[in-house]
Amino acid sequence: MTDHPRDACGVVGIYGVDGAASLIALSLHALQHRGQESAGVVTSCDGVFHCHKGMGLVSAVFARGEAENLPGAIGIGHVRYSTAGGSNLVNAQPLVGRYIHGQAALAHNGTLIAAKRLTYTLGATGAFFQTDADSEIFLHQLAQEQASTEDEIGQVLTRVGPAFSLVLLFADRLIAARDPYGFRPLVLGKLRDGYVAASESCAFDQIGAAFLREIEPGEMVICSSGACRSFFFCPPGHPHARCLLELIYFARPDSLVFGEMPHLFRQRSGRALAAEHPAEADIVVAIPDSGMSAAMGYAEAAGLPLERGLIRNHYVGRSFIAPGQEARAAAVRMKHNVVREVVRGKRVVLVDDSLIRGTTTDALGRELRNAGAREVHLRIACPPTRHPCVYGVNFPRREELLAHNRSLEEIRSHLHMDSLGYLSLEGITGLFSESSSFCTACWSGRYPILDEEIPL
């Protein structure tokens, strides 16, 4: 994806392992792709909370060994990309509060669809918000309901509603929970005599923890008194809506999320794309790095060589949208360099995982032609993105989505491609045995739940 939407954070919790803060900080490095705006760790030691947070990358926030100064064998951590609330230190997580049952800290991934109504309801009863981030609602709701037992906390989570995957820290207890739809991922692992919960399993690999299983939608895992137990706070048979874009783009290719390894899933989607949209071509080129796995699958299924026709510069920061065609082309060249010797005289199938604004894809097509490619055939390993996300992914406005109100031919012509093919919704959901358990709202417009459906 050349112009990505941003994900809304990564979370980690560790229970029962000495030096928890250093391990949490280490595992946050592996989740850095989920948020680069701020990072933080909170631990609990002898009933006292210790916290360090800062703006920027994990490597900057914990550059001077700050994690080693946070004592305790239990703690939580967070990397943030803001989808609700400003990008500033006040909103950096974990959030820490004190209520009738002592201190509590929270790290949250997702966007609360009922945030506006809940903020109003809580504010009307006297809540004084410290941040403008929706995540703070959990702490106020806990305080207002004086929730402490598993049942009580389950009721709070139900009242707040999706979308969340979160870790909650109390003085001697760690709780990891996912909303009943399961929009965002959360997995459970084992480290020495303790336990780890994280957004993705790549966080476990970083610290030598073993993957145990996915935490189920509507499940709360409670680690206390040296053990972990599980509790469901939603009725059995509740519909699930895991975010399909996690598998298509967000999650690291080497993670395990939703029972799948994204790299292998993306390869499968590339094979399905080749079957749906073959092209008369000489080579397959991935838009790096996001399109690589799908391009491998496409090339394999099409019987075409996969070539490195584009090289990505990893040292360029966040892409910016420069006005004008020339400036945009220069911006694209900063991030992606075309390998002339590879593409000259070739008919190229250009593969990416998804297409959101399309701001740089047309410039990439031009660059390939300028470098001597005879034809450029764009293939996208998911359906046209026509609707924004309300569950924790920061999308551009509906009107800024390339596929909004455009036909396929209009998109092709807008991007100056020789041909264009998107993997169909049936094609991508057909890759699962249980396709109904995924959210597809940004393509289908069928939102699994909206704000007014949450009873407050």
Q: Are 254 and 173 in contact (CB under 8 A)?
A: no
Cβ neighbours of residue 363 closer than 8 Å, sequence gap 6 or more: 325, 328, 329, 331, 332
CA distance 426 to 432: 10
Using CB under 6 A, pick the residue from 196, 209, 221, 441 that binds ligand SF4. Answer: 441
Residue 195 lies near ligand SF4 (rule: CB under 6 A): no
Cis peptide before 279 (omega within 30 of 0): no
Other beta carbons within 10 angstroms of residue 158's beta carbon come to: 15
| Candidate residues 175, 415, 420, 439; the one interacting with ligand SF4 per rule CB under 6 A | 439
246/21 Cα distance (integer angstroms): 27
Integer Cα distance of 388 and 123 in angstroms: 28
Residues 229-248 as x/- pattern, contact with ligand SF4 by CB under 6 A: --------------xxx---
442 is catalytic: no
CB of 114 to ligand SF4, least distance (A): 16
Cβ atoms 109, 10 nearer than 8 A = yes
422 binds ligand SF4 (CB under 6 A): no
The nearest distance, CB 395 to ligand SF4, in angstroms, is 7
Say if residues 163 and 184 touch (Cβ distance below 8 Å): yes
Tell me how far, at minimum, the Cβ of 244 lies from ligand SF4, in Å. Answer: 5
Specify the residue, 106 or 356, whose C-beta has the smaller distance to ligand SF4: 356
Residue 299 engages ligand SF4 in binding (rule: CB under 6 A): no
Q: With CA atoms as reference, report the closest residue to 74 among 287, 289, 223.
A: 223
Q: Which long-range contacts (CB under 8 A, 24 or more apart) does 365-368 make?
A: 365/415, 365/416, 365/417, 366/329, 366/416, 367/329, 367/332, 367/333, 367/336, 367/338, 368/285, 368/309, 368/310, 368/338, 368/343
Which is the catalytic residue, given 9, 202, 243, 439? Answer: 9
Quick one: which of 92, 95, 142, 442 contacts ligand SF4 (CB under 6 A)? Answer: 442
In the bound state, the residue with its beta carbon closest to ligand SF4 is 389
Looking at residues 357 to 416 of the shown chain, list those that interact with ligand SF4 (rule: CB under 6 A): 389, 391, 393
Closer of 49 and 395 to ligand SF4 (Cβ): 395
Instruction: Give yes or no for residue 170 binding ligand SF4 (CB under 6 A).
Output: no
Q: How far is the CB of 393 from ligand SF4 (least distance, A)?
A: 4
d(CA 228, CA 239): 26
Please say which residue, 246 or 367, places its beta carbon nearer to ligand SF4. 246
Closer residue to ligand SF4 (CB): 84 or 279: 84
Active site residues: 9
* Chain residues that interact with ligand SF4, rule: CB under 6 A: 183, 243-245, 389, 391, 393, 439-442
